[in-house]
Amino acid sequence: MWTALSQDFIIAPQSEQDWKEISATFYEEWDFQNCLDALDGKHVAIECPGLSGSEYYNYKGFLALS
């Protein structure tokens, strides 16, 4: 992803202060401490945990953590 998108879309923090500001923003907006980045919409296929029913069944038709 970095190779394909970094030139046009991804700006890497340049200083320690930049990283601290990113972390502070995640904490202020989402209450996630020490978070620097997030991806949305990723589904990770899993084996069904015992007695979970449809708890991990997603709209794509497989069991996943999302």
pLDDT one-digit tens code per residue, 3-19: 887 788 877 889 999 99
Cβ(51)–Cβ(57) under 8 Å?
no
Question: Cα angle at 15 between 12 and 21, to 5 degrees?
Answer: 85
pTM: 0.48
Q: Residue 66: which pLDDT band, with cuts at 50, 70 and 90?
A: low
pLDDT one-digit tens code per residue, 33-60: 888 887 776 666 777 777 777 777 777 7
Q: Is 26 helix (H, G, I), strand (E, B) or coil?
A: helix
What pLDDT score does 7 carry? Answer: 80
pLDDT at 24 over 90: yes
Domain residues of the chain, as ranges? 1-35, 39-66
